[in-house]
Structure formats: structure tokens, C-alpha cells
Chain A
């Protein structure tokens, strides 16, 4: 589903080069639930950006569902994202001027799909926000905002979902419920989930953990933990 091959990312900072990722290679199967962990500054977010096609590597390639992302231009990657990729961010990244349901509609409308209102309502009901459709982001709690973001990410049935510290701005109870929601959607829809976190207890809920340190992949381990709870959580 997703494979990274010899990924390196460097930044030029004044006179010296800063290597953020060095020679990272791995692959992820369809339907897997993978965590990327590591301390601050280890290159987690950079890796996520490269895997999702938000940025281009200095060297190496990323294959997403059979397409070489590094061979596409920015708009080509955008179209691929619209078709196959979902995102969940630490700071939710909802569009403040749109209501919950309108936020969920955006990716569908960008693809020119029909029936968008109905489909968006369904997804929001699935994440337990059927009664909050017309609320603006500022009228929702942090957990609710993140559930809208998850609903938006799943609205166009992505092949892969990237979550960047999705619980970072939430208290631990709410955070746990958000991860449970991700797990259940992963199971039900068969989407691959890539979770970036520095919280090991959350990471252990995934099936596989990739450990980064100082820009290098230092461990790739299978966990025993399959998602413990099914069903929809409350935020």
C-alpha cells in the first residue's frame, strides 16, 4: 500500500546542511494500523509529510498505492490526496468559517461528487455528531472538533489515513476515545492508518510501531495489541 525507499530529507540552514531524515525505508500493507513514534525533533512529522505527499524528499521515493509520489508535481499529488488520502491533525485544522457538515463536504465537493450532504450527514452520525451538524468549529469541544476532522478524513473513503498527533491537544480520556474511533473506522472501512505520536501508550494500540531517532529508523516492531474496543466512542 505504502512504501518508503531510502528517504532522506535535508534542509539548508545558512551555511550548514541539516539532515532531518536519513535513508529511511519500510513498507506498509493495505489495512494495517501503524504508529510512528520518536522524541521531539526525531523527524516524525517530516516523515509523515513525505509519506502523504505534502512535501518532496531530497532523495529516495515514496510509493502510495502503486503511484510514485516523487514523480508527481504538486497538483498531481493534490489530486492523489483528494482521491486516496485522509488527514487528521493535532490542531484539528477545521475551516473556521464552515459548519461541521460543510467541513465534511469539502473533499467530496472538490472531487465534484454528488449527494454530498447526505453522505456527510451519515459520516457525522457515525462519529456520534448527528446532532451537531450545523455547529461552527468554535461551538464544538476539542474532542468534537477532532471527530469532525475524522469524519472529514473518512468521508471520501480514503485508502490511507494519516494522523499527526491526533490526541496531542486533548485530555487523555478524550484522546483514548479518538484513537478507538480511528481503530474502529480502520476495521470497518479497511483503510490503512498511519499514526504519528510521541505517546507510547497510544502507539501500542496499533499493530506495528516504527521508531525514529535523530532522523533514522531505529526499530520496526509488531505489537500484540489489536484494537481492544469496537464501536463508536464519545469525545
Chain B
């Protein structure tokens, strides 16, 4: 009873005593708000997307099960599908391929994605059109429903005729939405839906054409997708061509996994922001503690025990931490509602935004905990304040000195590390990944901290007695007892680091793209050119006065055997070894040849010379005198197939077996806009095989390009052509969207640092006030005091920005090298601009926080301070 009334008494004191400090405490606690906002927004949105995926999963797939193949289904599979259809399983078909669409009225042509669908497609979800309800009219006549981009780029209207190959379609509507399609995918190749039964009329699917064949199945009552998969998966997987089976649950799982991964990655950024906020809280609460020394000394005189004192201020910190987290959660929810708009082009589902109580509670909980554990460290010092301070006031630094050797501080420090691990564990799921996450977080903060320490030590060394007094005093302030130099540099550095890293990576990716486009001398590519058409197209290009840059023959083939062992035998052997290992419970140490590489269709070429986009990394290039079949293999595929120089691969080229010896391995720059190949033969070995061509040309103006494309398509409707500048524009458009998303994130990351900066600067306010007043008493003008502060904050801002920039260059280099696998050139000027802007922000915050130093008269301040 006495304990309870004592606690109530302490609550009362805590509440009343916080009266004037609430706003200040709240400012310190707002350091965590943005971190909480990020966590709540990311987690809520991930929950919304997952929920929407789950609700729309059947619509996303279009059926309960999807079967997908890169070539027309085999006779066996077709027979099986027919018999399934008669036994109650719904079967709809989609055939997708790229082709040229032409509008005869304007004569314009454009590369489009054709989707020939059966009348029962899709089983789930709805394809919406403009005008509404046109989907049901697609079948029964030669109708087409097209992306609005088709109308715009071909200068056509609804009702106009569209030619695909040799068939004519009337465009009856435009597409508004297709379940499961990304908004950006339509930007790359506009979609055209046509009835499946009119596909043959186009005459487009002939030898070597690349198309994707899908069958979507709807299970009858009593048969689940999983049961179906269990029964038929093996049959489809071993069929030739191979058929990939995916159930609605697998599709949902894949989608959720990528969404979770993205959420986890963003969550780490949020977590780092939250921990940085924790450091801000610690700095701010440190300042708060300094102001409370006198009050605590009085409380101690009045009989308060150290526990009671601690409890009073922990209660205050917890309450304000809760408010700070609550504000953050509110921001997070607002942000969550804005995210679908920002990301709509990159999401496969229509996200239904709803409050996610779990995510909000988690964000609040983590936020309050971080606020509490980080404020506990400085608050513990209150336990050590002696009641003697009421009789004889010592300096703040002396009072706080004793607090450092406190075992409870070590316990709290340990709890902070444990908390980071626990939160990372919650994010990562596994202990190993949690360790990696924690190491990454610790690494980022540690590297900034280390850089801050080094830079401030460096500044101290560099300071010279010959410098003006105000500058020397400003530098000296970086080392005042209880300084917050490292915290300020950390806060500033982190903001600059995130912003600059994003900018560097974006800049490098864009310049890579420009570079590759420049390197590629061609700007127009014709593909699906049949053997008999090649000389005609070639002469058409030359006759128009343009240059043929490259003509690449393309021959489809599969692997028959490696070093004499047939593919089925290799697969069987690998399977039995795997089974033996599984049975013995041992870990398999031998690497297998990849099933994927063994079974895939290779589209190979032959030529005498290496192309500019590839580099030989082993072996010798073909000798012109040696006419036996030789191949040069791309390094990753060679590694997948576990083959090297001297191995013999037997190829099945349209039924003819051709053994070829590996004579070199190549590294290929895939991002170059030109045909690249896994396998290159020496000329002569497969010249006589049936083939088609890709022709690269250079055409100076877009008008000439349009004319040439139109002429070629008119003669050969099956030939597709692609304007590379169009691709560049499309990619630029997509990148523009990515860039605005990145800029937004960068601004948010900058905002993370500002409350932390405020707290860190406020931490030294008392000393600054005393010192400024003392200087004024000794005759310093307001101007001089101002200059000292200016030089201090300019230096802090510059050092913080420098720390961020230096680290961001390192991080961007790592990202470019290991994630994007491309060269890195630092972008200096824009990053310097960011640095200067941050320095200005630091100066503004510093002067704003220290305005009392200007305002106070020496007398009044000496009395209060």
C-alpha cells in the first residue's frame, strides 16, 4: 500500500516536474519519430501488399495453375491438356511474342507485345477496358484490344485497322488494367490482345520465332492446385520442350518473398535511422540531465533515493518517448497511404491500403524501447548526483565525471547491443542473417563514428596559433568537456551518406547506360530475319544509303552430350548421386552441371572475330586454318555446365549432331545494345544449319528510320525491328520514375538527421551559454561571439559532410562493383553541393539553438546559468 502511494507520489512529481521540460524532451524524442515513421510505413505497406497479393493471387496468375514453355507444347502435353479439358479442368491458352504492328492508314509501325488468348482467359480477375466491357467482344471477329501507347505511337484511333504479320485486326478498345501486369512493362513494349483462333492468320510464328506458350488451368471442385501439381509436375518437367508448372500458392509465395526482401532491406534503412535517432535521444537527454543537476540535488536533500530520482526521470523519458513514437507512427501511416501512388508502376497488384495494427504496434514498441534504452544511459548519471551540490555547486563536467565509471552504464550499453540484435533478429528471421544485419548497421554507424573521431582529431592538429582568435576558439569548442562533436558529425554524416550514396549509384548507372548506347554504333536492329530475307533486307538498308553495322546469324540448338556422355545420362547420374548423399545424410561436396543449362535452348552464332563487347579470359580464339568445329563459351554458362578448355560439347542442331571443342571462354558485357551469345562457333562448322539473322544498322534520322522500318515490314511482316533510341527513351522514363522515388527517399533520409542534429547541438547549450556570457563579460562583442559559433558550426558541418561524402564514395563503389558489377566514377560536384547545403543547415541549426547566447545580458545569464 505504502509502495503504491509512494509510486503515485513519484508519478505526481514526475508529471509536475516535467512541466517546463516537456517541449524540450519532446524535441529530443522526435529524433526517433522519423525512424518509427519509416518502420511503420514500410511494415504496414508490406502487410498491405502481402494481403492484396493473397486476395488477388488467383487473378495475378489468371488461374489455379499455370504451365509455361519457351516453345510450343509437345504433342504429349497438348494431348494431356485436351483430356484434362474433357474431365472438367478449365484450360485457357495465352501465346505471347514480340512483333511489328502496322497501321495501314498512317503507314506507321512499332514493336509490340502480342498476346493471343482463348475466349475463356482469364479464369480469375478482370481485364478492364476503355470503353468498358469490350473484353467480351474480343472473340468472334478479328478484334484487337491495345495499350493506349499503341494508338499514340502509331497515330491511330479506335476503329482503325492494325496489321500483325499478314492478318488485319480492328482495334475496338484500349486496356485500362490487366491483373498481375506491372505498369512499367507496358512502357517497354505496348500490349496487344488478339483472339487465339486468329493467331495462325498472322503467319508470324514460324521457325526460330521466340514466343512464350502458357496454359492456365482452373481446377474443378475436389481437385486442389497442389494435388494437381503433385500428380503432373514430374511429367511436365521432363517433357521436351520443358514445361514449368506453377500453382497459385507458389506464385503468391514468390511474390511475397520478393516483397518481404524489399521490405526487409528498406526496414534496415529505417532501423539505422531509428538507431541514429537513439543517439540523438542520448545526446538530447544528456543535455536534459545537465539542466536537472540542481533539481536532483535538492530532491536528494529532501530524502529521494537514487532509485526514486531515476524513476522520476525515466517516467518522463518514457512518456515523451511514447509521444515521439506516436508522432512517428502517425507520420508512418500518412506515408503508407502515399506509397501506392509513388510505387504504382512497380507493383503487380492494386494495393488496398488499410491500417496495419500489428505494424503500428511494433513500430511504437520498438520506438519507445529505443527511446528508453538510449535515454537510460545518460539518465543513470542522475543517480550519482550528490546532495552536496546544493551547498557547493561544482561544474557539470565534474558532476558527470563520476557517472562514467558506473557498472549500470555498462549493463545498459550491453542492453543496447542486445536490443539491436533482437530487432535485427525480428527483421531477418534467422540468427545468421540477424548477425549480418547487425554487423552492417554497426559497420555503418561505426565507420561514421570512426571517421568523426579521426576528422575531429585532425582538425585539432591542424589548428594554428596564427589563426584569428574567433576561429581558434571555434575549433577549441570541438573539444570542450562533454562536447557533442561526434554525435553532430554522426547525424550530419548519416544524412549526407544516404543522400550521396543514392546519388552516386544513380549517376553511375545512368552514365553507364549512356556510355553503352554511345559505344553501340547501331541505332536500329532487325530481328527474326529468315535466311532468304537477309540479302534483301541488307540491300534495302544499303540502297537507302545507310550502314549495316553487323549481321549476326542465329541458330537454335540444344546440348546432346558433354564429353560423350548424353544429357539424360548426366541427369540420371547426378540424380542418383544426390539421392545417395541424401540417404547417407552427408552434405554433397561435388558440384553438378546445372539442369537448367543442360536442358535449355541455346541461340548460338558463328563468326571469325571477337566482338567489341566481349573479352577472352581463357584459351585461344579460332584459328582460320582449323576448320573442325570449335566453340567459345561465355564464362558463367561454362561454369554452370562445368566445362572448360578442351571439353567436347555435342550439339543437336535441328536433329544433326555436331561435336565441338571448347577453345576459349569469354566475358560478355550483356548490357550493350547488340546481340550477345552464350556460345559462338567458328565459321564453317554450322554455316549450313537452318538459321535466322539479326541485322544491326545505323540510320541517321528518325524520319529515315521510320521509312526503312515501314518498307521492311511491308515486304516481310514477320521481321521485327527496334529503334534503340526508343529503348533509351523508355529506359530513361523508367529511370526518371526511379530517380524521383530515390530523391524522395534521400530527402527523407536528410530529414532523419535534423532532429538528431538539434538534440546534439542542444546538449552543449549550457556550456555554450556560460562561455558566451563569460566572453561578453570579458569584453567580447555579440559579433565576436557570433563568429566563434559560426566557425564552430561551419567546421562541424564541413566535417560531418566530409565524413558522409567519403563513406558514400566507398559504399557506392562497393554497390557498383558487387551489386551492379560495373565501373565506378565518383560524381564530385553534385555531392559537394549536398555537402555545402548540409553545412549551411548545420550553421542555421547551430545559430538558432544558440540564439540565447546573443540575447542574454551577461548579468542575467550569470545569475541563471
Q: A residues engaging B (CB < 8 A)?
A: 45, 48-49, 52, 54-55, 74-75, 78-83, 85, 87, 89, 93-98, 102, 105-114, 116, 152, 164
Do A87 and B302 touch across chains, with their CB atoms under 8 A apart? yes
Enumerate chain B residues within 8 angstroms of A164, measured Cβ to Cβ. Answer: 391
CA distance A94 to B3 in the complex (A): 26
CA distance A112 to B13 in the complex (A): 11
Q: Say yes or no: is B625 at the interface (Cβ < 8 Å to chain A).
A: no
Do A112 and B306 touch across chains, with their CB atoms under 8 A apart? no
Do A97 and B16 touch across chains, with their CB atoms under 8 A apart? yes
Enumerate chain B residues within 8 angstroms of A152, measured Cβ to Cβ. Answer: 302
Q: In the complex, identify which listed stretch (B17-25, B129-137, B166-174, B709-717) lies at the interface while the others stay far away.
A: B17-25
Q: Kindly name the residue among B10, B305, B308, B386 whose own CB sees the greatest number of chain A CB atoms within 10 A.
A: B305
Do A102 and B302 touch across chains, with their CB atoms under 8 A apart? no
Contact with A along B304-348 (1 / 0, CB 8 A): 111110000000000000000000000000000000000000000
Q: How far is the CB of B156 from chain A (nearest CB, A)?
A: 75
CA distance A68 to B609 in the complex (A): 100
A-B contact pairs, 25 of them (CB 8 A): A45-B391, A48-B391, A52-B301, A54-B390, A75-B307, A80-B303, A81-B300, A82-B304, A85-B303, A87-B390, A89-B391, A97-B295, A98-B16, A106-B13, A106-B299, A106-B302, A109-B10, A109-B13, A110-B9, A110-B10, A110-B299, A110-B302, A111-B9, A112-B7, A152-B302
Do A112 and B18 touch across chains, with their CB atoms under 8 A apart? no
Q: Known interface pairs A98-B17, A109-B9, A110-B308. Does A82 touch B303 (Cβ–Cβ under 8 Å)?
A: yes
Do B9 and A95 touch across chains, with their CB atoms under 8 A apart? no
CA distance A74 to B21 in the complex (A): 28
Enumerate chain A residues within 8 angstroms of B305, measured Cβ to Cβ. Answer: 75, 78-79
Enumerate chain B residues within 8 angstroms of A89, measured Cβ to Cβ. Answer: 390-391
Q: How far is the CB of B859 from chain A (nearest CB, A)?
A: 16
Q: Say yes or no: is B5 at the interface (Cβ < 8 Å to chain A).
A: yes
Enumerate chain A residues within 8 angstroms of B302, measured Cβ to Cβ. Answer: 81-82, 87, 106-107, 110, 152
Q: Say yes or no: is B545 at the interface (Cβ < 8 Å to chain A).
A: no
Q: What residue in chain A is nearest B384 (Cβ atoms)?
A: A74
CA distance A83 to B7 in the complex (A): 17
By secondary structure, the B interface counts as helix
Do B5 and A114 touch across chains, with their CB atoms under 8 A apart? yes
Q: Say yes or no: is B534 at the interface (Cβ < 8 Å to chain A).
A: no
Q: Known interface pairs A55-B386, A55-B388, A87-B390. Does A81 touch B298 (Cβ–Cβ under 8 Å)?
A: no
Do A81 and B6 touch across chains, with their CB atoms under 8 A apart? no
Do A95 and B391 touch across chains, with their CB atoms under 8 A apart? no
Do B303 and A78 touch across chains, with their CB atoms under 8 A apart? yes
Do A81 and B18 touch across chains, with their CB atoms under 8 A apart? no
Enumerate chain B residues within 8 angstroms of A111, measured Cβ to Cβ. Answer: 6, 9, 303
Q: Known interface pairs A111-B6, A113-B5. Does A95 touch B388 (Cβ–Cβ under 8 Å)?
A: no
Q: Say yes or no: is B443 at the interface (Cβ < 8 Å to chain A).
A: no
Do A110 and B13 touch across chains, with their CB atoms under 8 A apart? yes
Q: B residues engaging A (CB < 8 A)?
A: 2-10, 12-13, 16-21, 294-295, 297-308, 386-388, 390-392
Q: How far is the CB of B67 from chain A (nearest CB, A)?
A: 73
Q: What residue in chain B is nearest A94 (Cβ atoms)?
A: B298
CA distance A106 to B10 in the complex (A): 9
Do A54 and B13 touch across chains, with their CB atoms under 8 A apart? no
Enumerate chain A residues within 8 angstroms of B21, measured Cβ to Cβ. Answer: 97
Query: Which of A45, A81, A98, A108 is within 8 Å of B301, CB to CB?
Result: A81
Enumerate chain A residues within 8 angstroms of B3, measured Cβ to Cβ. Answer: 112
Q: What residue in chain A is nearest B296 (Cβ atoms)?
A: A95
Do A81 and B10 touch across chains, with their CB atoms under 8 A apart? no
Do A93 and B299 touch across chains, with their CB atoms under 8 A apart? no
Do A112 and B5 touch across chains, with their CB atoms under 8 A apart? yes
Do A112 and B386 touch across chains, with their CB atoms under 8 A apart? no
Q: How far is the CB of B180 from chain A (nearest CB, A)?
A: 61
Do B303 and A107 touch across chains, with their CB atoms under 8 A apart? yes
Query: Which of A75, A82, A109 is within 8 Å of B12, CB to CB?
Result: A109
Do A95 and B17 touch across chains, with their CB atoms under 8 A apart? yes
Do B18 and A97 touch across chains, with their CB atoms under 8 A apart? yes
CA distance A45 to B387 in the complex (A): 13
Query: Which of A48, A94, A98, A116 is within 8 Å of B9, CB to CB?
Result: A116
Do B9 and A54 touch across chains, with their CB atoms under 8 A apart? no
Do A81 and B303 touch across chains, with their CB atoms under 8 A apart? yes
Known: A79-B305, A96-B295, A112-B4. 10 other contacts (CB 8 A): A52-B301, A78-B300, A78-B305, A78-B387, A81-B302, A105-B12, A107-B302, A109-B9, A110-B13, A112-B7
Enumerate chain A residues within 8 angstroms of B387, measured Cβ to Cβ. Answer: 54, 78, 81
Enumerate chain B residues within 8 angstroms of A94, measured Cβ to Cβ. Answer: 298
Q: What residue in chain B is nearest A76 (Cβ atoms)?
A: B305
Do B308 and A112 touch across chains, with their CB atoms under 8 A apart? no
Q: Known interface pairs A45-B392, A54-B391, A109-B13. Does A93 touch B303 (Cβ–Cβ under 8 Å)?
A: no
Q: What residue in chain B is nearest A99 (Cβ atoms)?
A: B16
Do A49 and B299 touch across chains, with their CB atoms under 8 A apart? no
Do A54 and B5 touch across chains, with their CB atoms under 8 A apart? no
CA distance A52 to B391 in the complex (A): 11
Query: Which of B5, B7, B303, B391 is within 8 Å of A49, CB to CB?
Result: B391
CA distance A87 to B17 in the complex (A): 20
CA distance A52 to B387 in the complex (A): 10
In the A-B complex, the 6 residue pairs with the smallest Cβ-Cβ separation, listed nearest first, are A82-B303, A112-B6, A109-B9, A112-B5, A75-B305, A81-B303
CA distance A111 to B8 in the complex (A): 11
Enumerate chain A residues within 8 angstroms of B13, measured Cβ to Cβ. Answer: 106, 109-110
Do B301 and A110 touch across chains, with their CB atoms under 8 A apart? no
Q: How far is the CB of B19 from chain A (nearest CB, A)?
A: 5
Do B391 and A110 touch across chains, with their CB atoms under 8 A apart? no
Q: Known interface pairs A54-B388, A112-B2, A114-B5. Does A83 touch B303 (Cβ–Cβ under 8 Å)?
A: yes
Q: How far is the CB of B289 from chain A (nearest CB, A)?
A: 15
Q: Kindly name the residue among A85, A97, A110, A164 whose own CB sees the greatest number of chain B CB atoms within 10 A.
A: A110
Do B308 and A54 touch across chains, with their CB atoms under 8 A apart? no
Enumerate chain A residues within 8 angstroms of B306, measured Cβ to Cβ. Answer: 74-75, 78
CA distance A87 to B391 in the complex (A): 11
Enumerate chain A residues within 8 angstroms of B390, measured Cβ to Cβ. Answer: 54, 87, 89, 93
Query: Which of A48, A93, A102 is within 8 Å of B16, CB to CB?
Result: A102
Do B295 and A95 touch across chains, with their CB atoms under 8 A apart? yes
Do B303 and A95 touch across chains, with their CB atoms under 8 A apart? no
Q: How far is the CB of A107 from chain B (nearest CB, A)?
A: 4
